[in-house]
Amino acid sequence: MKNIYYIGKEDLSFEALEWILNENIKVELSSEAKERIQKCRDYLDRKMENQTEPIYGITTGFGSLCDRTISNTDLSTLQENLVKSHACSVGEEVKPVIVKLMFLLKAHALSLGYSGVQVETVQRMLDLFNNDILPVVYDKGSLGASGDLAPLANLFLPLIGVGDVYYKGQKRDIGSVLDEFGWEPIKLKSKEGLALLNGTQFMSAHGVYAIMKAQRLSKRADLIAAISLDAYDGHLEPFDERLHLIRPHTGQIETGQNIRKFLEGSELISREKKHVQDPYSFRCIPQVHGAAKDAIAYVKSVVLTEINSVTDNPTIFPDDDCIISGGNFHGEPLAIVYDYLAIALAELGNISERRTAQLILGQRGLPEFLVANPGLNSGFMIPQYVAASVVSQNKMYCYAASSDSIVSSNGQEDHVSMGATSAIKLNKIMDNLDIILSIELMNAAQAMEFRRPLRSSPLIEKVIKDYRKEVPFVDEDIVMYKEIRKTVSFLNRLQVDAL
């Protein structure tokens, strides 16, 4: 059916996830997924009937308590206690879209049939997703090692009838919501709590969200850079295709193509220049923006592998009559690439702020601070301060969280990835990048007015016309923070592909 996505029918893709989220698509377990889940659960149930040797997390405690054997009569209580005791995430509430992604990614991972959960457990997750019953999850508490234990525990408390959720715009106790739907709490069976809490879905959900946004920001950065270049009376030669074909990095070639496309038909870019070269922040746009694009593409490939993987522990192989305890929950593959992407996106902001600074210097026929009467008016002096401040903060966020580790669980978990920290600060960098690019757009659009009656390209003129419906040209000093906010809002709605 067109308006249903079947979990476990095929590998997840970024296109499918965007479709589900943007179109509010309902999700169901595919018949193949149900069969795999049930087959694994049946195997585990049979295994437990005659099992005498300890199996980590199933008949034992967790972490450094792995040597403590649990009786068969307490296996369900063990799993419920695990979820309750591990629900320790703190800090800021995670965005609803990321909570929804966590549900989707965990449901898909469990649907692969190596985790030993009940079909009804996964179904309840999808019921919550489909009805926009979203658990309250906080962003701090995961070491990104034995999975995202603390935030995933908060995510799955409602399955056992505990915890808070958002439903119809209100924060409510899950018990009253379950009553409203006539649902009973899930009775977890052996291994299920561990299957829910082990895994990288907090990190992965943040990564999926980051990639989706990074792709949009990268295209917007190209467009805004093109407006700045034209307003600065810059040269088009550094974007000549021949230059990039002899240094054929994919992102560099794509960026050059974008800039040429955006500036096609511009009177400004084609006129004769008095200056020989532009500063690097203009001349090297293809190289810097292109490197960011290549980073996004690589990190996307890693995240795509991760969201189609089994990352809980232990892992059950019914066909081989084998249960293996390993380390697929360790977040190192994500932690390292998130730190890499953080650097790439911070560089998009770094070079953007430099273009903003060039525009207000009073060069190339533009007035100082882009205002007609500088001195009496400060014009665009302080927005550049703001961009510089946010760029500096991003540099702090570029600290490699993946280079850190700290011992936990009484020495059993003695190396951790800090991937959750990498994921959180990556998204903070992108929030800052919204501001930095918006300030560049404000300056570039303002500078363009001083080039009249000459015109930029039809595409850029349309963007500026739409922008001017919300943010005016500045003749005399006005309160700027409101204009920055309006520009951020405009930028977040700007669909570059549709231009």
- Catalytic amino acids? 56
Type and span of the H or E element at 5 = strand 4-7
**Nearest-10 crossing angle of helices 119-130, 96-111:** 150
* Both structure tokens of 285: 């746009």
Report the C-alpha gap between 366 and 232 in whole angstroms. 8
Measure Cα distances from 478 to 290, 378, 433, 474 in Å: 36, 10, 24, 7
CA distance 226 to 266: 11
The answer to whether 155 touches 143, Cβ cutoff 8 Å, is no
How does strand 26-29 pair with strand 164-167?
unpaired
The alpha carbon dihedral of 142, 147, 148, 150 has a sign of negative
Which residues pair with residue 93 across a beta bridge? 138
Phi, psi torsion values for 7, nearest 5 degrees: -65, 135
Rounded to whole angstroms, the Cα distance separating 463 from 495 reads: 10
Q: Positive or negative CA dihedral for 472, 477, 478, 483?
A: positive
Give the CA-trace dihedral at 306, 309, 310, 311, to 10 degrees: -10
Please give the Cα distance from 283 to 239 (Å, whole number).
Answer: 8
Query: What burial letters (b/e) apply to 207-217, b meaning 16+ CB within 10 Å?
Result: bbbbbbbbbbb
Residues forming a β-bridge with 138:
93
H or E element at residue 482? helix 480-493
Pairing of strands 26-29, 315-317: unpaired
Select from 217, 115, 184, 124 the least CA-distant residue to 426. 217
- Name the 3-class secondary structure at 162: coil
The answer to whether 236 and 45 are in contact (CB under 8 A) is: no
- Name residues whose C-beta falls within 8 Å of residue 11's C-beta, 6 or more positions apart in sequence: 308
Q: What ranges in 1-156 are assigned the alpha helix state H?
A: 14-22, 31-49, 75-86, 96-111, 119-130, 149-156
* 427 HSE (CA, 13 A, CB side): 20
